[in-house]
Amino acid sequence: MNLLEIENLSFAYENLRRKSPNYVLNNINLHIKEGENVGLIGENGAGKSTFLKILTGLLDMQEGKVQLSSLELKKENLRKIRTEIGYVFQDSDSQLFMSTVYEDVAFAPRNYGKDESGVQEAVTSALRQVHMEDKKDRQIYRLSGGEKKLAAIATVLAVGTRLMLLDEPSAALDPKNRRNLIRILNELPCAKLIASHDLDFVYDTCQRVILLSGGEIAADGDAEKILTDRELLEGHGLELPLSFSRERGYMGLGTENSHRFFENRNCEYFPCHKEAGVLNCMFCYCPLYLKEKCPGIPSYIEKNGRRIKDCSNCTFPHQPENYDTIIRILKE
Amino acid sequence: MDRISEAIADLHKMDMEAGKGGLLQGIHPLPKLLVTLFFVLLTVSFGKYELSRLLRMGIYLIVLFVIGDISVKLLLKRMKLLLVLVCLVGIANPFFDREIMFFVGKAAVTGGMVSAATLMLKGIFAVSASYLLMVTTSMEDICYALRKLHVPKMFVTILMLIYRYIILFLKEIRQMTDAYLLRAPGQKGVHYKAWGTMVGRLLLRSMDRAQTVYESMMMRGYDGEFYLRCKRKAGGRDYLYAAVWSVVLIGIRAI
């Protein structure tokens, strides 16, 4: 079932009645299904942020029709629509304006008339989803950049959002926080529309990608297909994600992409991780996944300056003499 | 640390102090606000020559500083500008009111001197009481208490947003001055020729920032009012706090 349907959407910052308006968005048609994760990519000025702001009603739509479930995007429906669509701003500092995490996450439920016990429930649930229950009384200014981003996501989740719009969510995050954000976004059940220049991030979080160029949809389809199409990306001012870059000579060894690579191909070499329900392959650096779900991992093993995890439960014979074989498999 | 960063850190510290679990912090914001207002009201009600009686009102402040474990040094540091301004209020009185009231040794003390000192003291007491309220109560709680007293929501919203926005504003100033100073080595402060441009840019950037904050509020159902709640209801201890201080303050005023 389609959650969001957009028909013939056009937008210009000037009057559309002018002879030749400068369209920021021109005749956009698309739909997003319930629970679907969609990446919105495009070079600077392609209209990504404008598109997101139109969907939230922060910019007035000029032409076309936007429908969320049974609700049409109109001024009189905005209040209801904003409980269904949440917007995570690029700058978390501007999004978080109360003194503590709790107060900020509670802001929306209170505005929508929940009583205090309902507010508490909503805040607890939202913070649980982003793994920040222990930081609810923390002052906003004492949060790190990554925590601020998660708190901003929690503020949106607190009203039971069905479609989350994220504007450059990985901007200014260090690799660890970025990976943590990827994990959390992948855990959230709601649909997501992620506008980003970080194509690796988009690949790790989205099954579908929409490429915007010159205010029009230049491509819409499977993430892997679009993100590996060098010609298409370079033709629209983008570049291949680093993990697909041929110059690097390997496929994101130790990255989120490598575990997806194995998962997609039903890799037979890492059964214990699969049994534990872990998405990562044993080459993923992220300790969070493995520590949580596969306690049999005692430590890292260093090989040629690369950290490889050792798992005592793993039936794959990953003794040092087999490392070269593993790396060869990955390269292939 | 530069002065702007220090100011930001001070605001953050005050927020943190207000949120920590001390004896005064644990009291419900409404009685605290009422007692503070009552104290300020009684303080300003003293006549202009009632310096010695006014001094007794200091008991309230001393007790709160002691039981709240609040640093007077920090008060002086944080409020120095305001305190200087307050002290300037009565500075002209000695020139207008020259009637001799009493002698200290051989020095004559005029009515103007006494009234100037009284005015200054009133100001200092009022500022100190407000400071005590701010370091023991979060801005949300103060605004909640103000709404409980039926202060118009527009006023409370503006107060709340100004307080929050000051930090963003200071951060913008810091970013701009840092960017300027990094490209103006050896220069002390911002050259006056750049002031106009910088203020203009600051205004534009502040408006952008304010717009984003407002959009963020709109996205979360803001309809013109902050629906503030207090974490707990007022109990016996809070009523007792208000009652005891009311009696004590009235007593001090009456004697």
- Residue A264 phi/psi, 5-degree rounding, is -65, -30
Out of B19, B161, B221, name the one closest to residue A112 (CB). Answer: B221
Which chain B residue lies closest to A110 (C-alpha atoms)?
B227
- pTM of the prediction? 0.75
The per-residue DSSP string of A242-272 comes to GGG-GGG-SS-TTSHHHHHHHHHTT-SS-HH
How far is C-alpha B147 from the chain's CA centre?
Answer: 19
ipTM for this prediction: 0.74
- pLDDT tens for residues B200-243? 999 998 888 888 888 999 999 988 888 888 777 888 899 999 99
Average pLDDT over residues B30-47: 94
Q: Which residues of chain A does B16 touch, with a Cβ-Cβ cutoff of 8 Å?
A: 139, 142
Rounded to the nearest integer, the mean pLDDT of chain A is 77
Rounded to the nearest integer, the mean pLDDT of chain B is 88
- pLDDT tens for residues A133-172? 999 988 888 899 899 999 999 999 999 899 999 999 998 8
The per-residue DSSP string of A192-220 comes to EEEE-S-HHHHHHH-SEEEEEETTEEEEE
Taking phi first (over 0 means left), then psi (-120 to 50 degrees means alpha), and beta for anything else, what does residue B206 get?
Answer: alpha
Mutate to test the interface with A, among B216, B229, B233 (most CBs of A within 10 A): B216
Query: Does residue B109 sit in helix, strand or coil?
Result: strand
Mutate to test the interface with A, among B171, B219, B223 (most CBs of A within 10 A): B219
Which chain B residue lies closest to A157 (C-alpha atoms)?
B220
Tokens standing for residue A177: 């926080």
Give A244's pLDDT tier (boundaries 50, 70, 90).
Answer: low
Parallel, antiparallel or unpaired: strands A306-310 and A299-303: antiparallel
CA-wise closest residue to A50 among A17, A82, A10, A6 = A10
Tokens standing for residue B199: 């203020």
Tell me how far apart the alpha carbons of residues A68 and A86 are, in angstroms, rounded to a whole number. 12
Average pLDDT over residues A33-50: 91
Residues B229-232: contacts with CB under 8 Å, at least 24 apart: B229/A106, B229/A110, B229/A116, B229/A119, B229/B144, B230/B28, B230/B29, B230/B30, B230/B141, B230/B144, B230/B145, B232/B28
Q: Which residues of chain B does A107 touch, with a Cβ-Cβ cutoff of 8 Å?
A: 217, 220, 222
Q: State yes or no: pLDDT of A108 exceeds 80.
A: yes
Parallel, antiparallel or unpaired: strands B100-104 and A306-310: unpaired
Interface residue ranges in chain B relative to chain A, Cβ cutoff 8 Å: 12, 15-16, 19, 138-140, 161, 164, 167-168, 171, 209, 212-213, 215-223, 227, 229
Tokens standing for residue B190: 């911002």
Q: Which residues of chain A does B12 touch, with a Cβ-Cβ cutoff of 8 Å?
A: 139, 141-142
Q: State yes or no: pLDDT of A274 exceeds 80.
A: no
Query: Does residue B21 sit in helix, strand or coil?
Result: coil
Domain definitions of chain B by residue range: 3-254
- Residue A213 phi/psi, 5-degree rounding, is -150, 125
Q: How far is CA A55 from CA A1, A62, A91, A152, A281, in A?
A: 19, 12, 19, 18, 37
Parallel, antiparallel or unpaired: strands A216-222 and A208-213: antiparallel
Rg (CA), chain A: 22
∠ Cα B122 B128 B130 (to 5°):
105
CB atoms within 10 A of CB B53: 15
- Residue A155 phi/psi, 5-degree rounding, is -60, -30
Nearest CA of chain B to the CA of A89: how many Å?
8
Share of chain A above pLDDT 90, in %: 36
Q: State yes or no: pLDDT of A314 exceeds 70.
A: no
